[in-house]
Structure 1
Amino acid sequence: MAFALRSPGAVRAPASAQRASGVRAAKPGLLRSAAVARPRVATNAAAISVPVNQLTDEERANLARELGYKSIGKELPDGVTLTDIIKSMPQEVFQKDHGKAWRACLTSIAACAACWYLISISPWYLLPAAWALAGTAFTGFFVIGHDCGHRSFHENNLVEDIVGHLFFAPLIYPFEPWRIKHNHHHAHTNKLVEDTAWHPVTEEDMKKWDPTSAMLYKIFLGTPLKLWASVGHWLVWHFDLKKYTPKQQTRVIISLAVVYGFMMTVFPALIYFGGPWAFVKYWLMPWLGYHFWMSTFTVVHHTAPHIPFKKAEEWNAAKAQLSGTVHCDFPGWVEFLTHDISWHVPHHVAPKIPWYNLRKATESLRQNWGEYMTECTFNWRVVKNICTECHVYDEKVNYKPFDYQKEETLFAVQRRVLPDTAAY
C-alpha cells in the first residue's frame, strides 16, 4: 500500500533538501520525478522526496492541491505527546449520552428496514442503487458495534458486549476477534509490520511471490478492487483461533458461535422462502456495499503519499494518530447513515470518544492542532492515487507503485483511464 504520485506537476522539494540528498533538482514548481529519485523507474510517477516538515507553507499548499487534499499539515513537533493532544480537548467530548447511542441503533435498524423494502420493490435496473444505499446503512451497524468495542457506547460493558455482538452478527463479523485486532491497530497505527489494518507491501514480501501470487496481489491491491479488500482482511484475521492467546480464545469462541448461529438461521430462511436469489439480493449485495465503505474509510484515513509508515524504533504515537490520520468529508447522507465514522482524527487521538461527539472533537483539534492535520473531500484523485500508486513501502519516499521498476500494462491503463478530478 505505497505511493508515488503520477502527476504533471507538483511541489518542488526545497533546494536545501535537494542538496543534502545529492539529488538533481527538478524543474521549478515540480516534484522531482521518480525516475530522478530511482533511476530504474520507467513510469512518469512523482514521489514525495522530502519530509513534510521540510516544505514551506506554500509548498505544502501546492502539494495538497496536486494530491487532491484541502490541506496537508506540518509534521507534529517531537516534544508533543498524545496526552497533550487529548488534554487540549473539552471534557464533554468524552461524555456518553445513552439516549443518542440508542437512537443511533433505532436509526440504523430503520434505515436497513427501509433499504430492504426499497430492494424488494426496485426493478432490476435500480437494484445497484438500492444495494449501495443498503450497504451504507449496513455500515451503521458496524459503527454501533465499533463504539461498543471501544467502550464508548454505554457505561455497562455487558450491555456493550451484547449490543456489539447483535449488530455485528448480520455483518458476519465476530465481535471479540475484531475488537482485539482493531485495538491493536489503534495501538500501532501506521507502524510498519505491527499495524493490522492497512499495511504497505515490502520488497522482501514481493520477492517471495510466485507469478500467481504476484498477479492476485496486484489485482486486488493495485486496482479499485482494493476498495473491497477488507473482505480478505475479515476472512484472514477474524476466524483463526491460532491468532489469539488461550486467555482470549473463550471470548473469541463465543463471538464465532454468535456469527455461525446467525448464518445457520437467517441464511437458510432467506433461501427457503426466497431462493438463492433472495440471499444474494437481500444480504450478499448489501454486505459487499458495507465492505466498500469499510475498505474505503480505512484506506483513505490511513494512506497518503506524505504520511509514512514507520519502523517501531522511529514510530511516534502522537504523530501517527493526529498527523498520520486523514480527515475526509463524505456526502452528508453517507455520514448520516454511517454515524460520522469519517470524522476520524479524534477517534484515533482518543478512541473512547463516542461517535456523536466526533464533530465537536474535530473542531477542537482544528483550533488547537489544525496546522498539523491533513484534510480532504472524498474525490477521484485521492482514490486513484491510492489504488494505482500506493503499494510498496519505501523508506525514503514513503511509497511507490507495484511497477516501480518498469511500468506494467495493468497500471498504465488505469493511470490513463481512471478519472483524476479533485474536488475540495
Structure 2
Amino acid sequence: MKEPVLEEMENAGGYGNGFHGIDGKDDFDPSAPPPFKIAEIRAAIPKHCWVKNPWMSLSYALRDVFAVIALVAAAIYFDSWIFFPLYWAAQGTMFWAIFVLGHDCGHGSFSDNPELNNLVGHVLHSAILVPYHGWRISHRTHHQNHGNVENDESWVPLTEKLYKSLGYSTRLLRFTVPFPLFAYPFYLWSRSPGKQGSHFNPYSKLFSPNERKDVITSTLCWSVMAALLICLSYAISPIQMLKLYGVPHLIFVMWLDLVTYLHHHGYEQKLPWYRGKEWSYLRGGLTTVDRDYGMFNNIHHDIGTHVIHHLFPQIPHYHLVEATKAAKPVLGKYYREPKRSGPFPIHLIKNLVRSIAEDHYVNDNGDIVYYQTDPELYKSSLSKSD
C-alpha cells in the first residue's frame, strides 16, 4: 500500500509536480519539515530591518496620495479619450499601492503607534472602498493560518466535495480567466465558497465580540465614502465619476486579485497545502511564493517580496528586500527565487492562466494535499457551446 503523501503526489500529476527543487532535480520535497526553525530565520535578519520609521511610512503615504491627486487633476485637464486609458492604468495601480500601505497599517508595520496605524489605515482603505478593520482582522486570520486547507482565509483551496457541490456556472466562472480577477468585492461581502460571513457585518463569524466596535467603525467609514461617491456622481455626472473613479477601482481590484492569488498559487511546480498535525506556521509560510513585478516593485511597495512578509509581517515594506536577502541562506531550497521580470510582469500571466486552469480542488482527506484538476470542466463548456 502506498504512503498517503506519495499517492497524493501521483494524483496531483506525478512526482515531478511536487518534488522538483528550484534547480529542476527530483530530490527535494517541499512538503518535508524544514531542517531549520523560525527563530533561525529571525536571527539571520539584521536588527534594523525590524525598526519602523513612522516618518518614512508617512512619506510613502503622502507620495501615493499626491500621485492620485495629480492623476485626477491631469485627467480633468486633458479630458480626452486618448488620455483616459493611460489614466485608468496608472490610477488603478496607485489605488493598489494605497491598499498595500493600508495593509501595512493593519499589520502594525507602518509604525509602532496603533492610533496612527488605524487613522492612516482608515483613510487609505476607505478611500478605495475597503473596510479597514473588517479586512484587517480577516487578513490576520490568513497570516495566522497560511497554507492550512481548513483555516486559511485567502484563496483557500476547495475540497473535492465542496467543488462538486457548486453549480457548473459557478465553477466555470471561478476557474476561467479573467473572472477570478474581479472576485475581491464579492469576497468582502460574502467571503469564499464554504465560508460564511461578511467583512461589513460586526456579528459575522469572522469577528469576536470584542472586535465588533472596530468593524462598525470601518463599515461606517466605508459607508461615508460610498455616500460621497454617490453625491459626486450627481454633482459631476455618473459617467465622469465612472471615468475618474470607477474604472481605476476596477483596475485596482484586478491588481489585488492577481497579486494575492500568485502569492500562494501558480508556482512552476505544485506546492503543498496542510491539515491537522502536519500544518505549522513555518511550513505554511514556506509555501508562499515571491514574485518580481518589474517597474511596479517600488510602486506597490515590494509586496511581491512575500515570503518574509508572511513569516514576519511586522517588518516594514522598505526593509523586505534586505531581510529576504539575509534570510535566503537559512531558507535554502525552501526559498524559490522569483523569475526576473522585464519592466512589465507579462511572464506572470502564463502562471496565472495555467494555475487557474489546473488548480481546482484538493482531496477531502489527508494532512498533506496538492491541487488536482477537473478534466471535465472545460470539456463541458465546449460541448455546451457546440
Q: Normalization by structure 2: what TM-score? A: 0.84
Relative distance call for 1:397 and 1:346 in structure 2 (3 A) is closer
State the match for 1:101 in structure 2: 57
Relative distance call for 1:234 and 1:341 in structure 2 (3 A) is same
> Any conservation in 2 of the 1:325–1:345 contact (CA below 8 Å)?
yes
State the match for 1:190 in structure 2: 147
1:342 aligns with 2:304: yes
Match of residue 184, structure 2, among 227, 230, 236: 230
**Higher RCO, 1 vs 2 (CA within 8 Å, ≥6 residues apart):** 1
State the match for 1:383 in structure 2: 352
Relative distance call for 1:410 and 1:340 in structure 2 (3 A) is farther
SS of residue in 1 equivalent to 2:371: strand
Please give the alpha-carbon distance, in whole angstroms, between the structure 2 residues aligned to 1:411 and 1:89: 52
How far apart are 1:249 and its partner, in Å?
0.6
Please give the alpha-carbon distance, in whole angstroms, between the structure 1 residues aligned to 2:6 and 2:329: 35
SS of residue in 1 equivalent to 2:24: helix
State the match for 2:98 in structure 1: 141
> Any conservation in 2 of the 1:309–1:398 contact (CA below 8 Å)?
yes
How far apart are 1:147 and its partner, in Å?
1.1
Q: Residues 222-271 of structure 1, C-alpha deviation per residue, up to 9 Å, x if partnerless?
A: 3222122222212224112232222111111011111111222x213321
Please give the alpha-carbon distance, in whole angstroms, between the structure 1 residues aligned to 2:21 and 2:110: 42
Please give the alpha-carbon distance, in whole angstroms, between the structure 2 residues aligned to 1:271 and 1:57: 51
1:111 aligns with 2:111: no
Match of residue 315, structure 1, among 279, 300, 303: 279
1:47 aligns with 2:18: no
Letter in 1 for 2:201: D
Please give the alpha-carbon distance, in whole angstroms, between the structure 2 residues aligned to 1:167 and 1:201: 32
Please give the alpha-carbon distance, in whole angstroms, between the structure 1 residues aligned to 2:382 and 2:200: 33
Please give the alpha-carbon distance, in whole angstroms, between the structure 1 residues aligned to 2:355 and 2:181: 10
Relative distance call for 1:269 and 1:154 in structure 2 (3 A) is same
Letter in 1 for 2:371: Y
How far apart are 1:182 and its partner, in Å?
0.5
User: In angstroms, what is the RMSD of aligned CA positions?
Assistant: 3.0
* Structure 1: gaps of 5 or more residues: 1-16, 24-31, 39-45, 64-71, 413-424
Q: Residues 269-298 of structure 1, C-alpha deviation per residue, up to 9 Å, x if partnerless?
A: 321221111221111111111111111111
Please give the alpha-carbon distance, in whole angstroms, between the structure 1 residues aligned to 2:94 and 2:71: 8
How far apart are 1:48 and its partner, in Å?
4.4
Q: Residues 351-401 of structure 1, C-alpha deviation per residue, up to 9 Å, x if partnerless?
A: 000111111111112233242112333413211212211221146871123
Match of residue 330, structure 1, among 264, 282, 293: 293
1:240 aligns with 2:201: yes
> Which is worse superposed, 125-134 or 152-161?
125-134
Match of residue 290, structure 1, among 235, 239, 252: 252
1:365 aligns with 2:336: no
Q: Normalization by structure 1: what TM-score? A: 0.77
> Any conservation in 2 of the 1:185–1:197 contact (CA below 8 Å)?
yes
State the match for 1:399 in structure 2: 371
> Any conservation in 2 of the 1:241–1:249 contact (CA below 8 Å)?
yes
> Any conservation in 1 of the 2:301–2:317 contact (CA below 8 Å)?
yes
Relative distance call for 1:73 and 1:150 in structure 2 (3 A) is farther
Letter in 2 for 1:227: L
Q: Report 1:24-43 matches (<5 A).
A: none
How far apart are 1:79 and its partner, in Å?
4.6
Please give the alpha-carbon distance, in whole angstroms, between the structure 1 residues aligned to 2:103 and 2:356: 26
> Any conservation in 2 of the 1:270–1:278 contact (CA below 8 Å)?
no
Q: Report 1:402-421 matches (<5 A).
A: 403-405=374-376, 407-408=378-379, 410=381
State the match for 2:316 in structure 1: 354
> Which is worse superposed, 351-360 or 337-346?
337-346
Match of residue 203, structure 1, among 148, 153, 160: 160
Relative distance call for 1:336 and 1:238 in structure 2 (3 A) is same
* Structure 2: gaps of 5 or more residues: 191-197, 340-344
How far apart are 1:345 and its partner, in Å?
1.2
State the match for 1:92 in structure 2: 48
> Any conservation in 1 of the 2:290–2:306 contact (CA below 8 Å)?
yes
> Which is worse superposed, 168-177 or 112-121?
112-121
Q: Residues 157-192 of structure 1, C-alpha deviation per residue, up to 9 Å, x if partnerless?
A: 111111111111111111111111100000000101
> Any conservation in 1 of the 2:158–2:361 contact (CA below 8 Å)?
yes
1:217 aligns with 2:181: no
Letter in 1 for 2:15: S
Please give the alpha-carbon distance, in whole angstroms, between the structure 2 residues aligned to 1:253 and 1:22: 47
Please give the alpha-carbon distance, in whole angstroms, between the structure 2 residues aligned to 1:166 and 1:386: 35
> Any conservation in 2 of the 1:73–1:372 contact (CA below 8 Å)?
no
> Any conservation in 2 of the 1:73–1:373 contact (CA below 8 Å)?
no
Please give the alpha-carbon distance, in whole angstroms, between the structure 1 residues aligned to 2:82 and 2:6: 56
Paired residues in the alignment total 360
How far apart are 1:311 and its partner, in Å?
1.0
Match of residue 250, structure 1, among 190, 209, 213: 213
State the match for 2:193 in structure 1: none
